[in-house]
Structure 1
Amino acid sequence: MIPLASAEYRYTYYFNAKSASSSYRSLFVDLHRQELPEPQRATLNIHNAFQHFNPVLRGTGCDRFSYTIVRHPYPRLVSAYLDKCVDINTPQAQRFQVQDHVQWMYRQIFAALGRDPDWEKGFSFLEFLHYLEQAFEQRRPLDIHFDRQWNSRTKIDTYYRIEDPVDSLLDIFRAGFGDAYESLDLEDRVIDTASNKLNRSFSGEYQTQYQGAKLAGCDFAELNALIEQGQRFSYEDFMTDESMRLLSAIYAEEMKAYHYSPELDCPIAPE
């Protein structure tokens, strides 16, 4: 969880990568840009916002209220694997032109799997989960897209699950902005943001819904071959007994903290 703090409204939003964070960081930046000096506003974007809105820099007054936005670990990790490992959203000509920071991430995984890097074949979703299990046990540094959405050292007043009705999120913004809520036209802005969080991994760009065996054991090349045929995946295509066992064990604390169910047919438990 990475904090963005508003000194004016004295609250902190903790964002989690692959939990609609691009959309909600963009909204945060839009709402709080005026809090920064003019020179900083010129270069401000969602990627460097955490540097400008760090709670330490903004002062202790930002601890009046805090919240986070989360996503069920099952679709979140499938999305992270497809976007950051398989790299399905990169044009075909660039797909295997792996950047240095991604190579660093990949090399750790290949080393844990006991084989030399193969950028084209890569590794399967199950192999990726076994690596994450080992990495968490050994407290290795992880890319933020794979890290946990819960931290026992971080005090959070409330949270919103992106699977929930947007009314729950509106209540959080009312608490965060108080009397300014109405004047900022926040209801329409929050609703527009919530409706714009469809993950590209599962988007309609791929017209044909995949119908076949589970994909948890497929490598990069096999998955990209299906994508090039116009196949569209759902996160359920990667859910096997083994992948669900690993996910529910690796992310057990956040599933408990945010009341998520480990059952595939009931991903969100009633509160």
Structure 2
Amino acid sequence: MTATTMEVAYGGVPAGKEHIYSQEPVLSARKLVITFGRVIGLDGVDLDLYPGEVLAVIGDNGAGKSTLIKCLTGAYTPDSGQITMNGKPVHFKRPQDSREAGIETVYQQLAVIPALDIASNLYLAREERRKGVLGSVFRMLDKKGMEKRAGQSVQDLGIQTIQNMSQAVETLSGGQRQAVAVARAAAFGSKVVILDEPTAALGVKESGMVLDMIKQLRDKGLSIILISHNMPHVWEVADRIHIQRLGGRAGVITPQSHDMGEGVAIMTGAKRLTPEDAA
């Protein structure tokens, strides 16, 4: 069957939000290429993430979604191409480099330690010491201060189901654990938060809570990349949708310009965007 062509409405920009896309992207990638032996992971992929937007990244298995994210966060180093933040070139050699630049990632396999309390998980690997001699000499942690600031971070996100910061994470539901991971990313991700399948293992109610958090983060001005196989969730929260196919970018659409069926058709190759709009 021959793939049919489609056009992108609004030039790939959501109607009513044109002012966002007149700004400089907070994160950009140009012509990213990475190979693994004879396997092409990324084949000249471009990406733009603007301030205060949710950019969904969708694609079939093997399309290059995870590889793209790993290149953007320093887990992989591209063979060629350029990554910029606010117009300035960056070279991430390790994930710590991207975190220091203001990019936080929440992976599908949540990096939380169940036996630790919520505050300790929020400050994991970022523990703060007490002031004065107790912190500098005796290296004592500021547990009360971290609990207070952790509670403020959770409150700022509007998470009502978590109240006690000294509660062990292992006692929380799946949605609450995801909320802890997202709260940590929001607290330390000064520019970009990347969410990898955040609702994959959650029920309807807990998924709704996570989607609400994503909207709140966007409203606070954070830029979010959402990787998801759940099309209804993507069409609910995304401003734009970046479609990966066979290691390349098949195009960028919006929930207003294309419905879910059309998005899946582009993702699977049943339909394709016109070259000028897909580029």
Higher relative contact order (CA 8 A, sep 6+): 2
Q: Normalising by the residue count of structure 2, what TM-score does the alignment of the two structures yield?
A: 0.26
Say which structure is richer in helix. 1
